[in-house]
């Protein structure tokens, strides 16, 4: 036999043996072109195996039925696989499943895989799960080296009760971070979120904000561009001038931190708060708040503004606390001890003083006009002007009669001399039963009270004040000032142990001072003359923000400078009585009335004893008076 024929038969025999051997084995031989086990693709199992040579560069292994493949620590499953051993490229079809290092499982209906670069592309019903959350998309690229998954045509993450959606996403399997980009939306039973970009960790369930973001939590809407929200612990922190608002209030600050479970939070850095329901503003550098109860404690130069159209009231103190009136009755030991941080300091019991003071209300019947007063009528009209002051004494006589004035004093009366009748309960501390009587429940749910401590200052165009501590009620619009308070109205100064300022439309309507009350009025800026009235209690009434009438009771004393028609000073009267009434017009006293146990002396203007010009405890404290609202912010 020809040697060439023998060689041909031998080759043919060897080929047939090799084909039969391949058909008997379940697994194909390993690729021999490389010893790199990271790049080697091992076919562990298949129901049918075909080997096809397309050309010299394309040799395909076709695996059909329950295909199981491994590369390094990555396992592949599919219904069928076409694998090019030479290019190390694989395509998988039907029920594709990849397990990457026992940490990530990826499912799809189609996959392309570059075994050399370890890059996979998944199509159709793609699902990635890391044990904490599941990613759903229609198309995703996955880098086995960096363990990074990328989708660019929309995808969503489901993590327990939280779902996040974005147009694009980048999943980092090693650290469990997902970077969402484009039309990001998050929904949770308690939180909803919308943003352009967001970083989310599936393990810790912390969402980190890196772009303008809107968050809805309960009734609150938060706008931020920096910070994080812990969906597991319901805690958050925001920066970059974030905004938090609900149906009745808005707060803006450099930084926020709060706990959604308890409702407590903290705002720092140029904090601005607005209560739209009550027309109140707050400015501070640090605010602690409860967004559920709508209360707050402000420190670091806080200023609160009770807003009105033309004449707002500005309140500054070291510490300001404000809450809803509905919660005030539930505070044990009262609001003073609840919020006053100064320990061991006695707080005056104002209720007992008010109950024992029977003269705190001025009634029309107490006005007495004596026969010495002349009523002047002109052109059938009665002028509402008091042209000259008159001193009226009752029961006792003044020890020394004043020198006769050059012009007979005349008092012209009108209805303006009548004083409003005020319920004596109006000055009592507000309790829960009073609140219910005054306001319906829906209003007490929004009405506020304000407490302020240490270095309290108040500025209003009509009235200014300083004190150690303050309480303001939204029910009756009363400012209660404690511990050496001083109040100023135009040219008048009032001081005492405690002062109540009753307001109407944010303007002073009535002023009540108890214990060591003293009213001082500068007669003339360039002189050292001061009209003064002193008593255990002082009641003052205002008309359009101007002091109209003052009543002092309880060992009352007064110093009064009399003037003639030319406004020249003619004498000074110093008198004591059980009760002293003083009437004003255009900031000047026009009538003084003394009641019971009257004793007094009048001194000629050129013979004034220096020791008689001032009542005991006299102080002119104009230097403490707030000059403008901007001063309160310093």
**pLDDT, tens digit, for every residue of 429-486?**
334 444 344 445 545 556 788 999 999 999 988 889 999 999 988 788 889 999 999 9
Beta strand extents in 351-430 (DSSP E only): 390-394
According to the model, what pLDDT value does residue 339 have?
42
33, pLDDT greater than 60: no
354, pLDDT greater than 70: no
- Is there a contact between 542 and 569 (Cβ–Cβ < 8 Å)? no
pLDDT tier for residue 368 given thresholds of 50, 70 and 90? very low
- pLDDT top residue among 54 and 196: 196
Q: Is residue 114 part of a domain?
A: no
- Alpha carbon separation from 552 to 217, 440, 593 (Å, rounded): 55, 36, 10
According to the model, what pLDDT value does residue 185 have?
94
According to the model, what pLDDT value does residue 469 have?
93
Q: Is residue 554 part of a domain?
A: yes
Residue 17 CB-density burial (10 A; 0-12 exposed, 13-18 middle, 19+ buried): exposed
Average pLDDT over residues 79-97: 92
- Residue 610: DSSP 8-state: G
Average pLDDT over residues 514-537: 84
According to the model, what pLDDT value does residue 560 have?
84
According to the model, what pLDDT value does residue 587 have?
65
- Quick check: helix, strand or coil at residue 366? helix
Average pLDDT in the chain: 76
384, pLDDT greater than 90: no
Whole domain around residue 402: which residue ranges?
368-418+460-621
Q: Is residue 614 part of a domain?
A: yes
According to the model, what pLDDT value does residue 143 have?
92
According to the model, what pLDDT value does residue 299 have?
94
Q: What's the rounded Cα separation, in Å, for the pair 519 and 502?
A: 17
Average pLDDT over residues 49-57: 81
Q: Is residue 80 part of a domain?
A: no
Q: Is residue 166 part of a domain?
A: no
Q: How many CB atoms lie within 10 A of CB 118?
A: 20
- pLDDT top residue among 367 and 509: 509
> What is the bridge-based pairing of β-strands 48-55 and 280-290?
unpaired
- pLDDT top residue among 7 and 457: 457
pLDDT in tens, 145-168: 889 999 999 999 998 888 999 999
Average pLDDT over residues 111-129: 93
pLDDT tier for residue 51 given thresholds of 50, 70 and 90? confident
Identify the CA nearest to 122 among candidates 135, 109, 104. 109
According to the model, what pLDDT value does residue 353 have?
34
Q: Identify the helix (H) or strand (E) that includes residue 377.
A: none
Q: What pairs with residue 561 in β-bridges?
A: 572
pTM of the model: 0.70
Instruction: Tell whether the torsion through CA atoms of 436, 438, 439 and 440 is positive or negative.
Output: positive
Q: Is residue 605 part of a domain?
A: yes
> What is the bridge-based pairing of β-strands 255-259 and 295-299?
unpaired
Q: Is residue 344 part of a domain?
A: no
According to the model, what pLDDT value does residue 48 have?
92
- pLDDT top residue among 388 and 100: 100
According to the model, what pLDDT value does residue 55 have?
78
204, pLDDT greater than 80: yes
C-alpha angle 537-538-541 in degrees, rounded to nearest 5: 150
C-alpha angle 286-287-288 in degrees, rounded to nearest 5: 130
Report the residue count for the chain. 634
Backbone angles phi, psi at 148, to 5 degrees: -125, 125
Q: Is residue 607 part of a domain?
A: yes
Buried b (16+ CB within 10 A) or exposed e, 564-589: eeeeebbbbbbbbbbbbbbbbbeebb
Give the domain CATH number at 409: 2.60.450.10
Number of domains in the chain: 1
pLDDT tier for residue 39 given thresholds of 50, 70 and 90? low
- pLDDT top residue among 294 and 367: 294
> DSSP string spanning 280-340?
EEEEEEEEEEETTTTEEEEESS-EEEE--SS--EEEE-SEEEEEEHHHHTTSTTHHHHHH-
Average pLDDT over residues 405-422: 30
According to the model, what pLDDT value does residue 67 have?
94
According to the model, what pLDDT value does residue 420 have?
32
- Is there a contact between 493 and 622 (Cβ–Cβ < 8 Å)? yes
- pLDDT top residue among 358 and 161: 161
- Is there a contact between 263 and 293 (Cβ–Cβ < 8 Å)? yes
Highest mean pLDDT among 363-372, 434-443, 599-608: 599-608
pLDDT in tens, 215-262: 998 788 999 999 999 988 989 999 999 999 988 889 999 999 989 888
């Amino acid at each position: 036999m020809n040697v060439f024929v023998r060689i041909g038969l031998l080759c043919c025999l060897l080929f047939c043996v090799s084909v039969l051997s391949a058909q008997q084995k379940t697994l194909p031989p390993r690729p021999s072109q490389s010893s790199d086990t990271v790049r080697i693709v091992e076919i562990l199992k298949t129901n049918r195996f075909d080997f096809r040579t397309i050309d010299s560069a394309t040799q395909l292994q076709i695996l059909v039925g329950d295909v199981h493949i491994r590369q390094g620590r990555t396992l592949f499953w599919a219904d069928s696989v076409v694998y090019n051993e030479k290019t190390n490229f694989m395509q998988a079809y039907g029920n594709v499943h990849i397990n990457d290092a026992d940490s990530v499982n990826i499912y799809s209906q189609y996959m392309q895989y570059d075994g050399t670069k370890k890059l996979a592309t998944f199509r159709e019903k793609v699902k990635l799960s890391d044990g904490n959350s599941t990613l759903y998309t229609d198309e995703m690229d996955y880098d086995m080296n960096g363990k990074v998954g990328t989708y660019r045509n929309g995808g969503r993450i489901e993590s327990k009760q939280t779902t996040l959606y974005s147009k694009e996403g980048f999943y980092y399997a090693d650290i469990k971070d997902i970077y969402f980009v484009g039309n990001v939306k998050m929904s949770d039973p308690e939180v909803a979120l919308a943003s352009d970009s967001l970083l989310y960790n599936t393990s810790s369930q912390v969402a980190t904000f890196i772009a303008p973001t809107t968050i809805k939590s309960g009734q609150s809407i938060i706008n931020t561009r920096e910070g994080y929200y812990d969906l597991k612990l319901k805690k958050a922190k925001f920066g970059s001038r974030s905004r938090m608002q609900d149906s009745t209030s808005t707060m803006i600050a450099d930084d926020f931190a709060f706990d959604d479970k308890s409702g407590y939070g903290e705002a720092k850095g140029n904090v601005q708060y607005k209560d739209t329901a009550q027309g109140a503003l707050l400015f501070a550098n640090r605010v602690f708040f409860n967004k559920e109860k709508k209360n707050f404690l402000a420190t670091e130069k806080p200023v609160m503004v009770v807003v009105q159209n033309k004449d707002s009231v500005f309140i500054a103190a070291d510490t300001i606390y404000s809450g809803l009136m509905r919660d005030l009755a539930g505070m044990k030991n009262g609001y003073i001890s609840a919020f006053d941080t100064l320990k061991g300091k006695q707080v005056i019991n104002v209720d007992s003083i008010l109950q024992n003071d029977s003269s705190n209300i001025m009634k029309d019947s107490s006005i007495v006009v004596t026969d010495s007063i002349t009523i002047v009528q002109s052109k059938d009209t009665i002028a509402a002007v008091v042209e000259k002051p008159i001193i009226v004494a009752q029961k006792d006589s003044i020890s020394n009669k004043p020198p006769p004035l050059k012009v007979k004093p005349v008092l012209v009366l009108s209805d303006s001399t009548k004083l409003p009748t005020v319920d004596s309960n109006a000055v009592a501390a507000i309790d829960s039963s009073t609140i219910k009587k005054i306001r319906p429940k829906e209003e007490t749910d929004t009405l506020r009270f304000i407490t302020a401590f240490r270095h309290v200052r108040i500025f209003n165009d009509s009235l200014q004040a300083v004190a150690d501590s303050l309480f303001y009620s939204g029910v009756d619009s009363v400012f209660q000032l404690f511990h050496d308070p001083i109040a100023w109205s135009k040219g008048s100064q009032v001081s005492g142990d405690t002062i109540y300022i009753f307001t109407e439309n944010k303007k002073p309507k009535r002023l009540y001072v108890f214990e060591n009350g003293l009213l001082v009025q500068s007669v003339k800026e360039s002189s050292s003359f001061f009209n003064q009235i002193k008593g255990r209690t002082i009641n003052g009434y205002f008309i359009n923000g101007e002091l109209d009438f003052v009543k002092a009771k309880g060992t009352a004393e007064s110093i009064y400078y009399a003037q003639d028609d030319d406004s020249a000073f003619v004498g000074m009267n110093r008198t004591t009585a059980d009760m002293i009434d003083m009437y004003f017009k255009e900031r000047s006293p026009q009538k003084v009335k003394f009641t019971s146990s009257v004793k007094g002396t009048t001194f000629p203007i050129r013979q004034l004893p220096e020791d008689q010009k001032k009542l005991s405890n006299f102080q002119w404290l104009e230097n403490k008076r707030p000059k403008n609202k901007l001063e309160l912010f310093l």
